Amino acid sequence: MMGQGREAVDVLLAESFKELARKQPIEKITIKEITDKAGLIRPTFYNHFQDKYELVEWIITAQLLKPLEPLLQNGMVNEALLLLFTSIEREQEFYARACRMEGQNSFESIAKECVKRVLLRILTENSAEKAVEHIWLTPELIAEYYAQSMCYMLIRWVESGMTISAKDLLCAYNYMMKHSMDEVFKEFCK
């Protein structure tokens, strides 16, 4: 490991963790197992992460969301969502286990916070100083709303065993986002 940068060690720890998570519940994985599998000593883990939940946060942020940012910043939302969905689909075993994390450190709460942070950063960095039609609709509220809806759809998809493709999930998500509740009720309650 001598000479490798911080990010290389982060990736090594993440890949070790994901491999272990494919075989056992995340709650049962120990830091020692992660570092042993990575060929590192235990203190190295703590030089990078406080605990395995912070490692999950790093995986979501660095490996799932960071590649989406340039697409989102350039208004390529569908492309960003499809990249996100296919990335999760590729590592289905890991994300199926991750979605089972419950309680204070649930995957859902960690994912929502990570997505909200990215969306809020993009909204605030790229927003023009203009009057908002609805003063209550702040960048924070908008980021939280979309983080909540996106994570809800993703987690339900993973929990269902990914019974539809990433492209079909994108279509379903877009349908939900582009139709008002009024329109949906009128369509379904004919």
Q: How confident is the model at residue 4 (pLDDT cuts 50, 70, 90)?
A: low
Count of domains observed in the chain: 1
Residue 24 in domain: no
Q: 60-109, pLDDT tens digit by residue?
A: 999 999 999 999 999 999 999 999 999 999 999 999 999 999 988 999 99
Residue 129 pLDDT > 80, yes or no? no
Residue 117 in domain: yes
Residue 1 in domain: no
Residue 48 pLDDT > 50, yes or no? yes
Q: 147-185, pLDDT tens digit by residue?
A: 999 999 999 999 999 999 999 999 999 999 999 999 989
Residue 66: give the domain boundaries. Answer: 50-188
Look at residue 76 in the predicted model and tell me its pLDDT.
95
Residue 3 pLDDT > 50, yes or no? no
Hey, what amino acid is at 106? S
CA angle 78, 84, 88 (to 5 degrees): 145
CATH code, domain carrying 171: 1.10.357.10
Look at residue 132 in the predicted model and tell me its pLDDT.
65
Residue 15 in domain: no
Residue 31 in domain: no
Q: What is the mean pLDDT of residues 21-42?
A: 95
Look at residue 104 in the predicted model and tell me its pLDDT.
87
Residue 4 in domain: no
Residue 57 in domain: yes
What is the maximal distance between C-alpha atoms in the chain?
66
Contact 64, 88 (CB under 8 A): yes
Q: What is this structure's pTM?
A: 0.89
Q: What percent of the chain has pLDDT over 70?
A: 94
Look at residue 130 in the predicted model and tell me its pLDDT.
60
Residue 14 in domain: no
Whole-angstrom CA distances from 182 to 133, 136, 178, 187 are 21, 21, 12, 9
Exposure letters 109-127 (e unless 16+ CB within 10 A, then b): ebbbbbbbebbbebbeeee
Residue 131 pLDDT > 70, yes or no? no
Average pLDDT, the chain: 92
Look at residue 1 in the predicted model and tell me its pLDDT.
44
